[in-house]
Amino acid sequence: MSDLTVMRTHKLFIGGAFVRSESGRTFVLNSAKGTFVANVALASRKDARDAVLSARSAFEKWSGATAYNRGQVLYRVAEIMQGRKDQFVEELILMGSSKRDATKEVEQAIDQWVWYAGWSDKLAMVNGSANPVAGNFFNFSVPEPTGIVAIIPTVTPSLYALVDSVAAAIVSGNSSIVIAAKKSSLVALSLAECLATSDVPPGVVNILTGDAAEIAPWLASHSDVNAIDLSGISKKDLLIELEKAAAENLKRVLRPDKNLPQGLNRINLWLETKTVWHPRGY
């Protein structure tokens, strides 16, 4: 018997499918020690636009799912990740983490799915309200998902940031497109494999590996993207370019910050408040 390893093909995750970049491009991913790891698909503008289409087509069903259902789906992601815990740890170590840090990061990432899963059916209770307007009306406010959120997560910690930013967007019913940095592409792909086998409907999370400086401008200027998480953008001029492009259709924007919003405040970035009035009377 041969113990030769079967190597994984590193593709993009669009519309629930693993696809090569439409451009046919790849980049060489080396480990922290400089050894060859993989030829990873390098996402292009076309891939980004395909991802927007799939995110939009997933939105109606995902945002219309019951909160209970969304919570179970997110919890299922934690279950699948738990089963692959060692794999995530190895990948983080390969890219330069210590075993201790890698283990902690993976555990936190799994816990984060569980934590967000529990929010799905509490958001409307905590954020919503019955409003005592001065008049004979029933008036209530409910939170609703903004739509499609493009996400450029921070690079360190790679897995935790991916999970935190994606879960915060999709728990309320948004669909998402993530640009994972080249250095994060191993865990990004493994996360995609977890998502693909965990009842997350196709298109709710799309993961592109590549260069944010190349792809993010196409998402920032895309009229069918409703919001953009720029927390992983470190270059000032790129940030300004992206924020200006996002202004074109008034995207909701999260800027990079040492203290990013956490918890409910992170979820609320991608929520709208809808208020409904109805008169009372016999």
Partner 1 sequence: MVFQYAPAPESTKIVKIDSSYGLFINGKFVKSKDGSQYKTINPATEEVLSEITLAGKKDVDLAVKAARSAYQKWSKLPGSVRGKYLYRIARILQERSREFAVLETINNGKPIRESRDVDMPLVAAHFFHYAGWADKLEHAGLGPKPQSLGVAAQIIPWNFPMLMLSWKIAPALAAGNTVVLKPAETTPLTALLFAEVCQQADLPPGVVNIITGAGETGAALVNHPNIDKVAFTGSTEVGRLIASSVAGTKKKVTLELGGKAANIVFDDAALDQAVEGIVNGIFFNQGHVCCAGSRLLVQESIKDEFLDLLYERVQTLRLGDPLDKNTDVGAINSAAQLAKIQELTQSGEQEGADRWSLKCDLPEKGFWFAPTVFTNVTQAHRIAREEIFGPVLSVLTFRTPQEAIEKANNTPFGLSAGIWTEKGSRILEVANNLRAGVVWANTFNKFDPTSPFGGYKESGYGREGGRVGLAAYLKSENKK
Sheet with 148-151, side-by-side order of all strands: 17-19, 12-14, 205-210, 175-181, 148-151, 227-229, 252-254
Q: How many residues bind partner 1 (CB under 8 A)?
A: 45
In whole angstroms, give the CA distance from residue 146 to residue 161: 21
At its nearest, how many Å lie between partner 1 and the CB of residue 50?
Answer: 22
Q: Binding marks (x or -) toward partner 1, 77..96, rule CB under 8 A?
A: --------------------
In whole angstroms, give the CA distance from residue 251 to residue 270: 10
> Tokens standing for 139?
């008036």
Cα separations (Å) of 144 from 26, 128, 173, 270?
38, 10, 8, 9
In whole angstroms, give the CA distance from residue 237 to residue 219: 17
Beta carbon nearer to partner 1, 24 or 281: 281
Among 39, 139, 198, 221, binds partner 1 (CB under 8 A): 139
> Tokens standing for 258?
């040492």
- Runs of H (alpha helix) within 120-170: 123-127, 158-170
Q: Tell me which stretch binds partner 1 (CB under 8 A): 82-90, 140-148, 198-206, 207-215.
A: 140-148
Among 133, 156, 197, 234, binds partner 1 (CB under 8 A): 133
Among 49, 107, 137, 196, binds partner 1 (CB under 8 A): 137
Q: Scanning residues 150 to 209, which ones bind partner 1 (CB under 8 A)?
A: none
Residue 249 found at the interface with partner 1 (CB under 8 A): yes
At its nearest, how many Å lie between partner 1 and the CB of residue 112?
Answer: 9
Residue 122 found at the interface with partner 1 (CB under 8 A): no
In whole angstroms, give the CA distance from residue 251 to residue 253: 6
Among 8, 99, 122, 274, binds partner 1 (CB under 8 A): 274
Residues that bind partner 1 (CB under 8 A): 115, 126-127, 129, 131-135, 137, 139, 141, 146-147, 223, 226, 236, 239-240, 243-244, 246-250, 252-253, 255, 259-265, 268, 272-279
